[in-house]
A and B are shown apart, each in its own frame.
Chain A
């Protein structure tokens, strides 16, 4: 490279060297290929699953989504119970985890505790995400399900007239699966909500307090609204995780392919269905499973698009 130590005034400034220009261009192309490569993987997986699902799509069409038999012997397949199970288990988990997670995030982002204690607590909450899901499954089987026994019994006995508690508690089922999902998505919601609360400019809190607002008002009228897009984003990420979670759910949900409104009864999710049946599936069954996988793919896609739309709409800094 031609670079002289002295640069007298008036001497022309050199053009960027050939070599630098070449490396600039190569780097641009490299990153371009990588970025498109990632997108291509997504499209490729989607297309491949769709192709493999074709026989089932042709045979069952959209009826697949609304019928509820799953019988490999008769080749009768309908994924309604699993779609229902996926949505309901995720929704229960979300309804429980959002208040707990946002509350935890608030507590950890305020100065109620000395900073070192908060740091340790935040770390521990985030550690929940590091526990392998099979461990959650085992914990669910040996700890949560027995623990829920009296609670499930009480719910059915006293609130049995509500369809949600309409069956007796038999152990594995929707309730323990949804509760374990709650714990599993908690760290995502907490970590993202806490980050978005912490990253708010301190001027915002000072402005609110300077106006004579109490800490309550500052939190609920200013800080949470300002961090709302982050909180929603984290929630949607958690929902995606809950819908796709396989191992822990399959160990706890009872894997029953019958549709049952009661959360005390065994149920199934799409992810759990796939994990259970692929190994021994015949041709058309594989196509049906691929179809179910495609549906799950579509569901998570819809959730993510919805999340993006909500975040765009409520983005207060725009």
Chain B
């Protein structure tokens, strides 16, 4: 299949380095091309939102960034995914990749362990020699959960509410001091108040971390993202949907003066 020319102008990066970049990235599940021809340069210490209709490959893309797609047998890709210039798929241990690039999932997925052990897990698993008590306190404070749980660190993480569980998962993800935090629709199962808490938390985290967030919620992207990438999907001959990047630009530009007609229609709610 010939890759149609796409408008993928990388945002002008003023004084910011590129954390993660893709070059002509094609992602396949077996023979099925799930995502094609993605060229992106994601700036460090910014919030980058990936938006687009269902099936456009947003989640597939961020799972390439921490090599979580490796768990799927039929997955393979061509093109390049780089992390500060280094190819993530060339002679790199996936385990080490995931220590630099953390992830928060759509459904809160704390371990069925105590709140304390959830946070301490990363340090224990990676053999980090550190003061665990301090680490737990620091991570929970950072994710704005400390005040709510400081008196019950020994209780099971699953006993928390959904929004608290998600903040616990964020605390867990940042406990190992990654450079990049990937978030796959982190608010989609949460109520509006929890969502706002997590959004403001993400804004704060962007001071230290590169945040890449997949979201279905355009207002969410507009509220918190510095850059927004719009993905779309088109039907292939065999009726499946293949995703591609339509436009990647500063969030304000995507919402106010998108370069592409499809982007304009999507952000105005005319399809999707």
Stretch at the interface among B77-85, B118-126, B146-154, B245-253: B118-126
Pairwise interchain contact B125-A213, C-beta atoms closer than 8 A: yes
Question: Could you tell me if A225 and B109 are in contact, using CB atoms closer than 8 angstroms?
Answer: no
Comparing A5-13, A55-63, A85-93, A202-210, the segment that makes contact with chain B is A202-210
A22 at the interface (CB under 8 A from B): no
B26-57: which have CB < 8 Å to A?
A: none
* A203 and B125 contacting across the interface, CB-CB below 8 Å: no
**Which of A68-76, A214-222, A241-249, A279-287 is the contact stretch?**
A214-222
- Centre residue among B109, B156, B172 by max chain A CB count within 10 A: B109
Q: Which of A203, A217, A226 contacts B107 (CB 8 A)?
A: A203
* A201 smallest CB distance to B (angstroms): 7
Tell me whether A221 and B124 are in contact in the complex, defined as CB-CB below 8 angstroms, given that A210-B66, A210-B98, A212-B98 are known contacts: yes
- Within residues 124 to 178 of chain B, which ones have a CB less than 8 A from any CB in chain A? 124-126, 156, 158, 169, 172-173, 176
How many of chain A's residues have a CB under 8 angstroms from any CB in B?
22
A-B pairs, top 8 by smallest CB distance, nearest first, are: A212-B99, A316-B112, A203-B109, A210-B103, A212-B98, A213-B125, A207-B109, A217-B125
Indicate whether B240 reaches chain A with its CB closer than 8 angstroms.
Answer: no
Indicate if A16 sits at the interface (CB-CB under 8 A): no
Q: List 24 A-B contacts (CB under 8 A).
A: A203-B107, A205-B71, A206-B68, A206-B71, A207-B110, A207-B111, A207-B169, A208-B121, A208-B125, A209-B71, A210-B66, A210-B68, A210-B102, A210-B105, A211-B125, A211-B172, A213-B121, A213-B122, A213-B125, A217-B125, A225-B112, A226-B111, A316-B113, A317-B158
Partner of A212, one of B71, B105, B112, B126: B126
Please give me the residue from chain A that is nearest to B126 by CB atom: A212
Is there a chain A Cβ closer than 8 Å to B73's Cβ? yes
With contacts A221-B124, A226-B112, A316-B156 taken as known, whether A209 is within 8 angstroms of B105 at the C-beta atoms is no
Residue of A with least CB distance to B158: A317
B196 at the interface (CB under 8 A from A): no
What are the residues of chain B within 8 A of A222 when measuring CB–CB? 111, 121
> A206–B62 Cα gap in the complex (Å)?
14
Q: Nearest chain-A residue to B182 (Cβ)?
A: A210
Hey, what's the 0/1 contact readout for A178-216 against B, CB within 8 Å counting as 1? 000000000000000000000001011111111111100
A25 within 8 A of partner (CB)? no
Q: Is B13 an interface residue (CB 8 A)?
A: no
Tell which of A111, A211, A213, A316 touches B73, judged by Cβ atoms closer than 8 Å.
A111
Q: Does B270 contact A (CB under 8 A)?
A: no
Assess the A318–B156 pair: CB atoms within 8 A.
yes
Q: Does B96 contact A (CB under 8 A)?
A: yes
Give 8 A-B pairs besides A204-B112, A206-B71 with Cβ atoms closer than 8 angstroms.
A111-B73, A207-B105, A208-B111, A209-B95, A211-B98, A211-B121, A213-B121, A316-B113
Give the contacts of A147-183 with B (CB-CB under 8 A): none
How far apart are A178's CB and chain B's nearest CB, in angstroms? 35
> Which residues of the partner chain B approach A318 to less than 8 Å between Cβ atoms?
156
Q: A203, B105: Cβ atoms under 8 Å?
A: yes
Are B158 and A213 in contact, CB atoms less than 8 angstroms apart? Answer: no
* Most A CB within 10 A of own CB, among B111, B122, B126: B111
Interfacial chain B residues near A204, Cβ < 8 Å: 109, 111-112
Give the CA-CA distance A225 to B113 in the complex, in Å. 9
B245 to chain A, nearest CB (A): 24
Contact of A206 with B111 at beta-carbon distance under 8 Å, contacts A211-B172, A212-B99, A316-B156 already known: no
Q: How far is the CA of A316 from the CA of B113 in the complex (A)?
A: 7
| Contact (Cβ within 8 A) B105 A206 | yes
- Do the beta carbons of A221 and B105 come within 8 Å of each other? no
Q: Quick one: which of B85-111 are within 8 Å of A by CB?
A: 95-96, 98-99, 102-103, 105, 107, 109-111
Chain A contacts for B122, CB-based, 8 A: 211-213
Q: How far is the CA of A211 from the CA of B172 in the complex (A)?
A: 8
Task: Write out the residue numbers on chain B whose beta carbons fall within 8 Å of the beta carbon of A211.
Answer: 98, 102, 121-122, 125, 172-173, 176
Which of chain B's residues has its CB closest to A316's CB? B112
A280-318 near B? 1/0 per residue, CB < 8 Å = 000000000000000000000000000000000000111
- Whole-angstrom CA separation of A305 from B110 in the bound complex: 31
Task: Provide the bound-state CA to CA distance between A204 and B108, in Å.
Answer: 10
Chain B min CB distance to A312 (Å): 14
| A210: nearest chain-B partner, CB-CB | B103
Please name the residue on chain B nearest to A218 by beta carbon: B125
Contact B124 A212, beta carbon cutoff 8 Å: no
CB distance from B212 to the nearest CB of A (A): 14
B109, A212: Cβ atoms under 8 Å?
A: no
| Residues of A219-249 contacting chain B, CB below 8 A | 221-222, 225-226
A109 to chain B, nearest CB (A): 14
Smallest CB-CB separation from A114: which chain B residue? Answer: B73
CB distance from A170 to the nearest CB of B (A): 50
Q: Which residue of B lies closest to A215 (CB)?
A: B95
